[in-house]
């Protein structure tokens, strides 16, 4: 039994779906002018500048913190470089109270929501002010007040969780939705399939946003899937789908704005495939020169989404050379000063090793902790981060 009326054929007909071609939605050209017949979304100056600042902030933060990792100040880092428009354009089209469940390359959405440089730094350095209490690797951000679910490393696990979260929002009936971000590599995980199928069957207000940036670490998209990207899979789930130029801030914003309407007002989940390019290395532990050419990177550097938006803002007289200079200078200074401050803050107290495993520390774990403290008291010089904390108690 299918949910659609079956057509019948009396000789074998095979099809691979190749007749379907999903177009790419574009509004803004690289010179900052609109395509002919394209209509700019209704985006006022304040919101446009909020979007732009979030993109620039992310770019500056990424550049500085990669350098900090290279200097050995930081154990690990991952950049959003090249994909800022795909992330901020979509986040900006949501209500600020909608839930974001991201992968790990979407710090730009958090910057848009208002996560401060201080909050970024505290996580990156895992100091005592880190909301995650220094437990996770750098760039695994989370913010309860900004409705940004804490990142985890296992790929795609957040996708079915987003479906479940959004199902709860639908029952709560307050008109909220969830957006979940993931890369085209993560979309090969079984959790992607589970999430989209369940969302379509149960009509859940969730937006699946695939950042197709061409690579999953070293694996090019041609070795990730044989089909025309990730978007055609939506047909198999009977889900609304759109492919968007991920470096086009206006197209990303408009596509997501309309997707949110479908999700929240009609309980129709939507898949958005944002076509972009990962300009940076996969992470600070990766060197892309081993698997792709400088020429290929150069082509995409020409398509920089931040520059494209800046030219559009300038054409609207909302932004100038001197505004740019001021923003760049003040942001660089803030990043540098905040980094120094965050690095000096002490690590989380020793007891955070054992709290939050459960709501309360179970007796056996409390015993393990007491033993550890006694051990540290015996070798205080070997445990400089926690020797002071170990002094109290049994």
Q: Would residue 282 show up in a list of annotated catalytic residues for this protein?
A: yes
Residues 6+ apart with CB under 8 A from 351: 369, 389
- Residue 67 binds another protein, judged by CB under 8 A: no
* Interface size with another protein, residues (CB under 8 A): 50
Closer residue to another protein in complex, CB, 17/362 = 362
Residue 147 annotated among the catalytic residues of the structure: no
Residues contacting 205, CB < 8 A, separation 6+: 166, 169, 170, 176, 177, 178, 263, 264, 267, 269
Pattern 87-106, binding to another protein, x per CB under 8 A? ------------x-x-----
For residue 369, the minimal CB distance to another protein (Å) is 13
Long-range pairs, 64-72, Cβ under 8 A, ≥24: 64/332, 64/335, 64/336, 64/339, 65/124, 65/138, 65/339, 66/280, 66/284, 68/339, 69/284, 70/284
Of 278, 308, 310, 389, the catalytic one is 278
CA distances to 95, 189, 350, 374 from 393, rounded to whole Å, are 47, 46, 12, 9
Strands 99-101 and 178-183: parallel
In this complex, which beta carbon is closest to another protein, that of residue 131 or of residue 383?
131
346 makes contact with another protein (CB under 8 A):
no
Phi and psi at 280, nearest 5°, equal: -85, 180
| Backbone torsion region of residue 147, taken as left when φ is above 0, otherwise alpha when ψ lies between -120 and 50, otherwise beta | left
Comparison of 49 and 361: residue with beta carbon closer to another protein: 361
364 contributes a contact to another protein by CB under 8 A: yes
DSSP string, 355-383: TTSSSS--HHHHHHHHHHHHHHHHSGGG-
Which one of residues 18, 23, 72, 363 is an interface residue with another protein (CB under 8 A)?
363
Pick the piece of the chain touching another protein (CB under 8 A) from 109-117, 171-179, 250-258, 334-342: 171-179
Angstrom distances, CA of residue 106 to CA of 60, 173, 183: 14, 27, 10
Of 12, 18, 154, 384, the one binding another protein by CB under 8 A: 154
- Quote the crossing angle between the two packed helices 45-70 and 305-315, to the nearest 10°: 150
Length of the chain: 394
> Which residue in 29, 30, 49, 136 binds another protein (CB under 8 A)?
136
85, 55 Cβ separation under 8 angstroms: yes
Binding residue (CB under 8 A) for another protein from 113, 140, 282, 373 = 140
Q: Per the residue annotation, which of 70, 235, 266, 291 is the catalytic one?
A: 291
Q: Quick one: which of 227, 299, 357, 374 contacts another protein (CB under 8 A)?
A: 357
Q: Which of residues 185-224 bind another protein (CB under 8 A)?
A: 190-191, 193-195, 197-198, 201-202
Out of 43, 68, 102, 162, the only residue in the binding site for another protein (CB under 8 A) is: 162
Residue 147 interacts with another protein (CB under 8 A)? no
Question: Three-state SS across 265-280?
Answer: HHCCCEEEEEECCCCC
Catalytic-residue membership of 291: yes
Closest CB 160 distance from another protein, rounded Å: 3
Q: How far is the CB of 205 from another protein (least distance, A)?
A: 12
Residue from 5, 7, 36, 144 binding another protein (CB under 8 A): 144
Assign 3-state DSSP to the chain and report helix, strand, coil percentages, each to 5.
45, 10, 45
152/219 with CB nearer another protein: 152
Q: Which residues are catalytic?
A: 278, 282, 291
Residues that bind another protein (CB under 8 A): 99, 101, 130-133, 135-136, 140, 142-144, 149-150, 152, 154, 157, 159-169, 171-172, 178, 190-191, 193-195, 197-198, 201-202, 352, 355-359, 362-365
């Amino acid at each position: 039994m299918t949910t659609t009326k079956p057509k019948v054929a009396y000789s074998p007909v095979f099809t691979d779906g190749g007749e379907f071609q999903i177009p790419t939605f574009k509004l803004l050209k690289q010179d900052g002018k609109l395509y002919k017949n394209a209509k700019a979304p209704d985006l006022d100056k304040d919101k446009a500048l909020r979007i732009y600042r979030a993109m620039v902030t992310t770019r500056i933060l990424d550049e500085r913190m990669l350098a900090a990792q290279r200097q050995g100040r930081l154990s690990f880092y991952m950049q959003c470089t090249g994909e800022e428009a795909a992330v901020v354009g979509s986040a900006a089209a949501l209500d600020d109270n909608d839930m974001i469940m991201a992968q790990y390359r979407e710090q730009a959405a958090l910057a848009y929501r208002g996560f401060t440089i201080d909050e970024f730094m505290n996580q990156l350095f895992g100091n005592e002010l880190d909301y995650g209490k220094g437990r996770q690797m750098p760039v695994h951000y989370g913010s309860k007040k900004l409705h940004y679910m804490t990142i985890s490393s296992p790929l795609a696990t957040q996708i079915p969780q987003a479906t479940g979260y959004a199902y709860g929002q639908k029952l709560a009936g307050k008109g909220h939705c969830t957006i979940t971000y993931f890369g085209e590599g993560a979309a090969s995980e079984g959790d992607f399939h589970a999430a989209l199928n369940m969302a379509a069957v149960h009509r859940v207000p969730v937006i699946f946003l695939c950042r197709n940036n061409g690579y999953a670490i070293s694996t090019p998209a041609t070795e990730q899937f044989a089909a025309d990207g990730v978007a055609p899979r939506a047909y198999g789930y009977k889900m609304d789908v759109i492919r968007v130029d991920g470096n086009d801030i206006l197209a990303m914003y408009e596509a997501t704005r309309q997707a949110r309407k479908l999700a929240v007002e009609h309980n129709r989940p939507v898949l958005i495939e944002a076509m972009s390019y990962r300009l940076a290395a996969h992470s600070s532990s990766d060197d892309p020169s081993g698997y792709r050419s400088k020429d290929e990177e150069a082509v995409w550097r020409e398509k920089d989404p931040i520059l494209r938006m800046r030219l559009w803002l300038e054409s609207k007289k909302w932004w100038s050379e001197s505004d740019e200079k001021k923003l760049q200078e003040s942001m660089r200074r803030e990043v540098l000063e905040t980094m120094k401050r965050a690095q000096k803050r002490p690590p989380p107290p020793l007891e955070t090793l054992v709290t939050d495993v459960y709501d309360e520390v179970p007796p056996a774990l409390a015993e393990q902790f007491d033993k550890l403290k006694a051990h540290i008291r015996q070798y205080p010089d070997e445990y400089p981060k926690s020797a002071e904390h170990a002094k109290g108690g049994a």
